[in-house]
């Protein structure tokens, strides 16, 4: 019997079903959402629930709407609001027929208050009709590798032909967050824009900022089939994570609205605890000493050519360090490559770096060479080593199992 109702054996950590002999039950994420995932900006999937199953995505659809607009329309160009756009059902940016605004302001109306009217306005101005715009959305989804996604509209209102998967939204979210204008807008907690000669001020529908630090956006969604949804991003200590939340509490009960924020907070904080930057080596760290085969008693200190830090997931186990040094003869110069170091985790290479000599050492001269030859001849008779041995000072593995201290995890309160 599970200790938590919403920690499930089918949940996966790093692609492996939860196994409580490896992952303590009190550390596995406890979330309500039926479809959810946690992914790093580099594409590393940390945790997932029902990630390949079709699900409605509500207004998180507008992530793709914004991507298409940003890539196909000048943000400073005015757009025009038609009767159809102004009268789109659902959430609204307050558009009126005949209004004009820049595309940038319309994107704010799309992403901050989640205006369905702004979605249709954008679609009509970019492609002529919403139908043609939806074709562009589906083409972009295919280009991004979203193989189990189909868009039927630009806003996210329920439609049987409008669906995605958590796994596909990893791809869309990571891509959208590479677009500077998109990142700028979804990071707005409040925004004032100019539409039709008047000012409109909006507050973001994403209130995760109120409950945890380091939030960077991005988009909420609410619909009957989709329930309460949230795509949430946060960045901390050089790591950027995205929580994908679909159907976190049923739409039939408005008090369920806050669960998506709690789920996102749970996943993000868990992610920052276990997926973090680890310094593998720095340039002042002595790797070892390398014996010079032309000499009897000389060696050089060896260092990494660059400091190396990587983001890594502690549940994948310790990091292996494989060091290779060259059998060196002849002169050697400071900074010359003498070997390599490879870091891997669970069979996957994380990083590599060159190893370099710290000092200059000449090759033996003629008379030095004769002396070395004679010393080795005598040493061979007595069993002495022919030259200085090579010594590696670093361990074979780096233990990353000890987590960093957890950040504050205040529990969200209900929101609309």
Q: Report the pLDDT value the prediction gives residue 408, as an integer from 0 to 100.
A: 39
Q: Say which residue, 211 or 83, is predicted with more confidence.
A: 83
Cα–Cα distance for residue pair 202/189, rounded to 1 Å: 8
Confidence of residue 404 (pLDDT cuts 50, 70, 90): very low
CA dihedral in degrees (209, 212, 215, 220; nearest 10)?
-60
Return the closest-CA partner of residue 275 out of 324, 318, 311: 311
Q: Report the pLDDT value the prediction gives residue 293, as an integer from 0 to 100.
A: 60
H or E stretch covering 184: helix 180-186
Cis peptide before 218 (omega within 30 of 0): yes
Q: Report the pLDDT value the prediction gives residue 275, as an integer from 0 to 100.
A: 94
Cα–Cα distance for residue pair 358/339, rounded to 1 Å: 13
Pair of tokens at residue 186? 């979804």
Q: Say which residue, 37 or 256, is predicted with more confidence.
A: 37
Inform me whether the pLDDT recorded for 130 exceeds 60.
Answer: yes
The pLDDT of 149-166, averaged and rounded, is 97
- 3-state DSSP call for residue 314? helix
Q: Report the pLDDT value the prediction gives residue 1, as an integer from 0 to 100.
A: 29
Whether 59 is a known active-site residue: answer: yes
Q: Report the pLDDT value the prediction gives residue 391, as an integer from 0 to 100.
A: 80
Q: For 286-393, CATH number?
A: 2.60.410
The pLDDT of 20-42, averaged and rounded, is 85
H or E stretch covering 406: none
The pLDDT of 185-204, averaged and rounded, is 94
Cβ burial 290-326 (10 Å sphere, 16+ → b, else e)? bbbbbbbebbbebbbeeebebbbbbbbbebbbebebb
pLDDT per position as a tens digit, 326-385: 876 667 789 989 889 999 998 899 999 999 988 877 655 444 545 444 454 455 544 445
Backbone dihedral angles phi then psi of residue 244, each to the nearest 5 degrees: -110, 120
Q: Report the pLDDT value the prediction gives residue 364, as an integer from 0 to 100.
A: 54
Q: Report the pLDDT value the prediction gives residue 300, as an integer from 0 to 100.
A: 82
Confidence of residue 406 (pLDDT cuts 50, 70, 90): very low
What is the total residue count of the chain? 416
Inform me whether the pLDDT recorded for 405 exceeds 90.
Answer: no
Whether 62 is a known active-site residue: answer: yes
Pair of tokens at residue 47? 């945790």
CATH superfamily of 31-276: DD-peptidase/beta-lactamase superfamily (3.40.710.10)
Q: Please report, for residues 10, 278, 345, the alpha-carbon distance to residue 319 in angstroms, rounded to integers and kept in the order given.
A: 27, 10, 5
Q: Where are the domains of the chain?
A: 31-276, 286-393
Among candidate residues 10, 41, 59, 340, the one labeled active-site is 59
pLDDT per position as a tens digit, 277-289: 999 999 899 988 8
Average pLDDT, the chain: 86
Cβ burial 161-177 (10 Å sphere, 16+ → b, else e)? ebbbbbbbbbbbbbbbb
pLDDT per position as a tens digit, 90-125: 999 999 999 999 999 999 999 999 999 999 999 999
Q: Report the pLDDT value the prediction gives residue 289, as an integer from 0 to 100.
A: 82
Other beta carbons within 10 Å of 130: 22
Q: Cβ-count burial of 196 within 10 angstroms (0-12 exposed, 13-18 middle, 19+ buried)?
A: middle
Cα–Cα distance for residue pair 363/295, rounded to 1 Å: 8
Q: Do residues 229 and 57 touch, judged by C-beta distance below 8 A?
A: yes
Whether 298 is a known active-site residue: answer: no
User: How many CA atoms, within 13 angstroms, populate the side-chain half-sphere of residue 232?
Assistant: 33
Q: Cβ-count burial of 92 within 10 angstroms (0-12 exposed, 13-18 middle, 19+ buried)?
A: middle
User: Which stretches of 139-293 are assigned E, i.e. beta strand?
Assistant: 190-195, 198-203, 215-223, 227-236, 239-246, 275-281, 286-291
Inform me whether the pLDDT recorded for 12 exceeds 90.
Answer: no
Q: Do residues 345 and 312 touch, judged by C-beta distance below 8 A?
A: yes
Among candidate residues 62, 140, 219, 316, the one labeled active-site is 62
pLDDT-above-70 percentage for the chain? 85
What's the predicted TM-score (pTM) here? 0.86
pLDDT-above-90 percentage for the chain? 66
Among candidate residues 92, 114, 273, 401, the one labeled active-site is 114
């Amino acid at each position: 019997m599970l200790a938590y109702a919403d920690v499930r054996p089918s949940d996966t950590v790093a692609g492996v079903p939860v196994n409580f002999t490896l992952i303590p039950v009190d550390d596995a994420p406890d979330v309500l959402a039926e479809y959810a995932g946690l992914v790093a900006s580099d594409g590393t999937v940390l945790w997932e629930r029902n990630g390949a199953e079709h699900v409605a995505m509500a207004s998180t659809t507008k992530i793709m709407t914004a991507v298409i607009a940003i890539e196909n329309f000048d943000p400073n160009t005015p757009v025009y609001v038609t009767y159809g756009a102004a009268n789109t059902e659902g959430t609204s940016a307050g558009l009126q027929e005949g209004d004009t605004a820049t595309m940038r302001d319309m994107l704010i109306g799309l992403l901050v208050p989640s205006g369905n009217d702004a979605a249709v306005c954008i679609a009509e101005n970019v492609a002529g009709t919403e139908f043609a715009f939806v074709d562009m959305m589906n083409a972009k989804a295919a280009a991004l590798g979203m193989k189990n996604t189909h868009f039927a509209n630009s806003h996210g209102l329920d439609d049987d032909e409008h669906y995605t998967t958590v796994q596909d939204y990893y791809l869309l979210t990571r891509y959208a967050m590479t677009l500077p204008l998109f990142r700028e807008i979804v990071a707005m907690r409040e925004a004032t824009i100019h539409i039709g000669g008047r000012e409109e001020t909006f507050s973001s529908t994403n209130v995760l900022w109120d409950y945890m630090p380091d939030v960077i956006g991005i988009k909420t969604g609410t619909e009957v089939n989709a329930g309460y949804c949230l795509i949430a991003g946060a960045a901390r200590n050089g790591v950027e994570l995205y929580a994908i939340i679909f159907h976190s509490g049923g739409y039939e009960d408005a008090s369920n609205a806050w669960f998506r924020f709690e789920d996102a907070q749970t996943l993000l904080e868990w992610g920052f605890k276990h997926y973090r930057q680890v310094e593998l080596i720095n340039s002042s760290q002595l790797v070892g000493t390398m014996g010079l085969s032309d000499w009897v008693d000389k060696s050089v200190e060896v260092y990494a050519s660059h400091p190396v830090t990587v983001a890594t997931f502690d549940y994948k186990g310790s990091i292996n360090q494989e060091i290779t040094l060259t059998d060196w003869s002849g002169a050697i110069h400071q900074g010359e490559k003498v070997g390599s170091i490879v870091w891997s985790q669970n069979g996957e290479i994380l990083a590599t770096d060159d190893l370099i000599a710290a000092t200059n050492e000449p090759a033996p001269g003629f008379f030095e060479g004769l002396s070395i030859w004679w010393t080795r001849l005598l040493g061979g008779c007595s069993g002495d080593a022919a030259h200085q041995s090579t010594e590696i000072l670093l361990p074979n593995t780096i233990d990353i199992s000890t987590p960093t201290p957890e950040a504050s995890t205040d529990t969200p309160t209900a929101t609309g």
